[in-house]
Structure 1
Amino acid sequence: MAAFTCVQIFLMIGMLVTGSINTLSKKAQNDCSAEGYKSDKHSFDHPWFQTWIMFIGETLCLIGLCLHRRRELKEYRKQVTENDALMVQPHIEVGPPVHAKILQWVVIVPTCCDLVGTSLAGIGLLYVDASVWQMLRGSIIIFAGILSKIFLKRKLKLSHWLGMLIVMIGLVLVGCSSVFKSQSHKTNNSKALLGILLIMGSQIVSASQMVIEEVFLKKRNLHPLHVVGLEGTYGFLLMSFVMLPAMYFIPKDGAGDSYENSVDALYQIYNSPRLLVFCLLYLGSIAFYNYFGLAVTRSLTAVHRTLIDACRTMMVWGVDLIIYYAFDKNFGEPFDSTFGILQIDGFLFLMIGTAMYNQLIDLRNFVPCCTFQSKEMKDVQHDSSYHGNIQDVSYSEDESDNENTKLLKGKR
């Protein structure tokens, strides 16, 4: 196994850190309290406004796209210059890089899915801990697999189905730990259940976004940074001129308050420097997480990205515990000694199911008959089995790369 280079280690650490900051800073915003538009101190309860911040962060990916295109053009010119200096006839197979137009209106369709999915997940985060939220987002594997089977006619192997089943068991355990925890603390466990349902619903929308992106954007050969940047731009415009103004005039619980008061959110951010820092961390982490995620997939493999996402869940949970017990009990989350074991078990099932879905676990190592058969047929079908294994491996890597490249926001 080849050792990682310093650049690859930096990219992996960058993806892990920025992805964890993404989740932690978003939850920290919900835990903040500040004076708002009516000058009374209250919690920062603005999930749709957080979606607006997210789209600003995604829009910054267009800067990364411009830098990427500039580097491609610079490399091409350098190659032409070197050939001219050596008095050699230029022989460049590809030619100068051809880039798609910046504006691609078809991206509006997945943008709407991104808007709804992220906002639902943000509302769900109000009612559950950050670690539970991060774990429940693993349910996207189930919905993405089923939707790709139905609409993309993708062939799912036994490892995929078993992986989804194990992930489902893990989700049930994590969800039960959250509901039982809220019940034991004599809080409204119906809100915890509502949060779980909202998060699961958001992952259905996000999985639909993956399928739509593959159907509409695959033939256009758009760079992932291009897609994310456009989704951020269109989402920012939709939220600024349609969603947020409309929600301002929708009453909330008949109390006269707005369902989403963005003016109140801006006042709270202005009155609380801590809340401002969390919002800026959330905005910046989204942009950098998308970049690091893409760089890891290209420099290494999608398998490494899957492992980093799993480590991200552990890091979010660990940092939340450290913040609560070592720094400030108003932030982070405590460990429930009664039902915390359910969350640990659920996390292990999620890890195993995700690894199996991404074919990091070879089922043939656990089935004796497969091992025996492979030894008996080794001399008879050596050539055919060899080529067949190569095809299986390449197919799984291509499929995994395709899905992980389109899901650049670990957003969330």
Structure 2
Amino acid sequence: MAIVGIILVVVAQLFAGGLMISEEKLLGSYYLHPLKVVGWEGFWGCTIYLILLLIFQFITCGDKTICPHGRLEDTPQAFYEMGSNPGILLYGIGSILSIAFFNALGVSVTKFASAAQRSTIDTSRTLLIWGVFLLKPGEGREKFIWLELVGFVLLVLGTLVFNEILVIPILGFNKNTKDAIEARKALEDDREDIEDSYNGNMPTKKGKVAAEKEKLLDTDSEN
């Protein structure tokens, strides 16, 4: 079961990454308000899950740890537990509000920044939750493990480096960033402009603009 859980986590991360990239492309290509995007995502998510929920009511499951009532989903039992324990109901409402704000703000970050920056913020969320449960008193407190700290540090650093928020100036890591590539390209264009100007040709965009300006100046001087 542990292997299945790891596989499901990896698949979920792939879907989450694909969702962020799709949202960035959609919001960049069309004028859509982030709240409208979140609303439609929620609508279709609820619709799909309602259909699946009806199907899951009739799927039997023998594993008591996953299906304590013998079925994959037991909606009447869920409502009974929420009614008998207000704490569960409050946790449910809190989760709904939390996810709503998280999705709305996440899509806003994707629209006005990028999916890469959203993934960076998403990484900090995991670190924040871990820190809160380390400080949580009483039952449910997380036990501090050095290996987890190392893992979180590597996770955050990897995300920052991958998104080029943190640029490592050694081993050539700073030579293949987007800014470095654009700077090299601009330098090559400038060199081509200089060479073409010496040869009397200006095929590049900058060269053409310069040639047009020169023609206008010559025309004005003749008049």
Q: Determine the structure 1 residue equivalent to 2:49.
A: 239
Residue in 2 that maps onto 1:384:
187
What is the aligned partner in structure 1 of residue 82 from structure 2? 269
Provide closer, same or farther for how the CA distance between residues 369 and 218 of structure 1 changes in structure 2, counting only shifts above 3 A. Answer: closer
Shift of 1:368: 7.5
1:366 maps to a residue whose letter is: I
Q: Is the 8 A contact 2:61 2:71 kept in 1?
A: yes
**Quick check: which has more Rg, 1 or 2?**
2
2:80 partner amino acid: Y
User: Which 5+ residue runs of structure 2 have no aligned equivalent?
Assistant: 176-183, 191-223
Asked whether 1:318 is paired with 2:131, we answer yes
Give the direction of change, closer, same or farther, for the CA distance of 1:279–1:248 in structure 2 (3 Å limit). same
Q: Quote how far apart the aligned CAs of 1:279 are.
A: 0.8
The Cα of 1:290 is off from its aligned counterpart by: 2.6
Residue of structure 1 aligned with 2:40, choices 210, 227, 230: 230
Give the distance between the partners of 1:307 and 1:275, measured in 2 at CA. 31
Q: Distance in 1 between matches of 2:173 and 2:109?
A: 37
1:249 aligns with 2:41: no
Aligned counterpart, 1:397: none
* Deviation of the 1:223 alpha carbon: 2.9
In structure 2, relative to structure 1, the CA distance for the partners of 1:244 and 1:369 (3 Å cut) is: closer
1:193 Cα deviation after fit = 3.8
Amino acid in the other structure paired with 1:259 = L
Q: Provide the C-alpha distance between the structure 1 equivalents of 2:24 and 2:113, rounded to a whole number of angstroms.
A: 22
Q: Tell whether the 8 Å contact from 1:269 to 1:275 is kept in structure 2 after alignment.
A: yes
Q: Is 2:209 the partner of 1:209?
A: no
**Under a length normalisation based on structure 2, what TM-score does the superposition of the two structures give?**
0.64
The amino acid across from 1:205 in the alignment is F
| 2:140 equivalent to 1:334 | no
Identity over aligned residues, as a percent?
31
2:197 maps to what in 1?
A: none
The alpha-carbon deviation at position 357 of structure 1 amounts to 0.9
In structure 1, stretches of 5+ residues that fail to align are 1-190, 372-380, 388-412
- Does structure 1 retain, via aligned residues, the 8 Å contact 2:58–2:71? yes
Matched to 2:75, the amino acid is S
The 1-side partners of 2:127 and 2:117 are apart by 16
Q: How much does 1:285 deviate?
A: 0.8
Check whether the contact 1:321–1:333 (CA below 8 A) recurs between aligned residues. yes
Q: What does residue 166 of structure 2 align with?
A: 361
> Superposition pairs for residues 5-404 of structure 1, below 5 Å?
191-210=1-20, 213=23, 219-240=29-50, 242-253=51-62, 257-295=70-108, 305=118, 307-323=120-136, 326-327=137-138, 329=139, 331-335=140-144, 340-363=145-168, 365-367=169-171, 384=187
- CA RMSD between the two structures: 3.6
Residues 13-32 of structure 1 deviation map (CA, whole Å, 9 limit, x = unaligned): xxxxxxxxxxxxxxxxxxxx
Range with bigger deviation, 208-217 or 229-238: 208-217
What SS does the aligned partner of 1:258 have?
Answer: coil
Q: 2-side partners of 1:278 and 1:205: how far apart?
A: 26
Partners in 2 of 1:265 and 1:341 — Cα distance? 38
Structure with more relative contact order (C-alpha pairs < 8 Å, separation 6 or more): 1
Query: 1:203 offset after TM fit, Å?
Result: 1.4
- Following TM superposition, by how much is the alpha carbon of 1:271 offset from its aligned partner in structure 2, in angstroms? 1.3
* 2:105 aligned counterpart, secondary structure: helix
Structure 2 counterpart of 1:250, which letter? Answer: I
1:10 is matched with which residue? none
Cα pair 1:303 1:360 within 8 Å, conserved? no
Deviation at 1:192, TM superposition (A): 3.9
The verdict on how the C-alpha distance between 1:205 and 1:224 changes in structure 2, with shifts beyond 3 A counting, is same
Structure 1 length normalisation: TM-score? 0.37
Q: Matched residues in 2 for 1:281 and 1:239: separation?
A: 20
Counterpart residue number, 1:107: none
- The Cα shift of 1:196 comes to 2.2
1:353 counterpart SS class: helix
